[in-house]
A = this chain, B = another copy of it.
Amino acid sequence: MSHFLEALNDGRIKAVTGEEAVREFLGRLKGAPLFACVVGSTDTALIEGISAAGATAEKRRFTAALDSEFLVYGTPVTLPEIPKNPLGPPSPVVITQAALHEMGIAPVIVDSGSDVPPATPLYSLGFKPGKDIRTGKALSLPEDFGKKARALGRALAGQKEWLILSESVPGGTTTALSLLEALGFRARGKVSSSMPGGNHSQKEEVVAQALASAKLGPKSTALDAACAVGDPMQPLVAFMALEASLKGPVVLGGGTQMASVWALIHRLWEEGEECDINNIGLATTKWVAADPAADLAGILLQAKKEIPAVAAWLDFAPSRHAGLRRYEEGLVKEGVGAGAAAFAAFGVTNISNEKLLRKIEDITEGVNG
């Protein structure tokens, strides 16, 4: 049996959507994937109180760069310290790092439009950071956007049997909510947050303003919606995934942020964009899948086509590290593809939950002292 199915049977991986489709999808994943992290910025993250991915609005500008630098070099470069939730738990990048190390994967960093680009080798397409979604004109994409994004999807998909596309976009759950709503998904109260208990009311106010400014109508396309109220990562990952799906399985690595990318992909597919929709899945963490203040499955299941979605059922309760134990309180839930990377490690090397936690602890303590 494939290690993925073994992990599904013993509970290290759990199905978030229907188990039959999940089983079929997992059966098609062979070998270690290519792991890409798509970083991007949206000025929406600068709204005070909107995100805890970085202690202050000013520090959040650096989060994606520091995450990427940590993934590539094992240490941040642009600033001396690894991004950290002000309430204590280490960034989920420690999970991603441990899982990638377990599989021997060197990650690929892609810049979808960053305010502070990572000081790593960087796949760049020349796109710009997103503006505050309250303008209703968040993204201005060049004419050749789809062509370029597809070319990158093709270049990455050609390297391995399957592909994980993850993200680091501070403020991204707010742009997830706005894009989902703009695409006709009922997502209010359903998206996760890096704030304890979620900050639904503030998010909803920002999103209401964004949608009012955007004035999307029945003739608006999926890309119109993304340009109006999205962040730069969403359409780039969507087009990369569409193209990569023609070659093999693609896993969107993330929680409700990737649910918004799925909604965009789904609508682009309905609009006739070329893809193999059955080759697209999603993987996140337990902390998103079981988040009492959100409803990932409730978002995903609004699409006509059901996406095979899974969660890596990590357990940090027995951790020797106090910061990591706080993950079980839901203070930090996901980011930098932590869930997808852990999921892949379970299925590729068959590592146990205990051993993966040891690796995460080692990395955390190497970093946080």
Q: Which residues of A contact B (CB under 8 A)?
A: 34, 72-73, 77, 104-108, 119-126, 144, 147-148, 151-152, 154-155, 157-160
Instruction: Report which of B72, B108, B124 forms a contact with A124, defined as CB distance below 8 A.
Output: B124
Specify which chain B residues have a CB less than 8 angstroms from the CB of A157 in the assembled complex. 106
Contact B158 A104 (CB under 8 A): yes
A369 CA / B44 CA spacing, docked (Å) = 50
Specify which chain B residues have a CB less than 8 angstroms from the CB of A158 in the assembled complex. 104-106
| This chain: copies in complex | 2
Least Cβ–Cβ distance between A34 and chain B, in angstroms: 6
A11 CA / B121 CA spacing, docked (Å) = 39
Least Cβ–Cβ distance between A8 and chain B, in angstroms: 27
Contact B121 A148 (CB under 8 A): yes
Contact A107 B73 (CB under 8 A): no
**Nearest 7 pairs of A and B residues by beta carbon:** A121-B152, A159-B159, A106-B158, A106-B155, A106-B154, A124-B124, A72-B151
Least Cβ–Cβ distance between A227 and chain B, in angstroms: 20
Specify which chain B residues have a CB less than 8 angstroms from the CB of A124 in the assembled complex. 121-124
Contact A34 B151 (CB under 8 A): no
Contact B104 A73 (CB under 8 A): no
A167 CA / B155 CA spacing, docked (Å) = 18
Contact A159 B34 (CB under 8 A): yes
Specify which chain B residues have a CB less than 8 angstroms from the CB of A159 in the assembled complex. 34, 159-160
Which residue of the partner chain B has the closest CB to A142?
B119
A155 CA / B109 CA spacing, docked (Å) = 9
Least Cβ–Cβ distance between A180 and chain B, in angstroms: 27
Specify which chain B residues have a CB less than 8 angstroms from the CB of A122 in the assembled complex. 123-126
Least Cβ–Cβ distance between A275 and chain B, in angstroms: 16
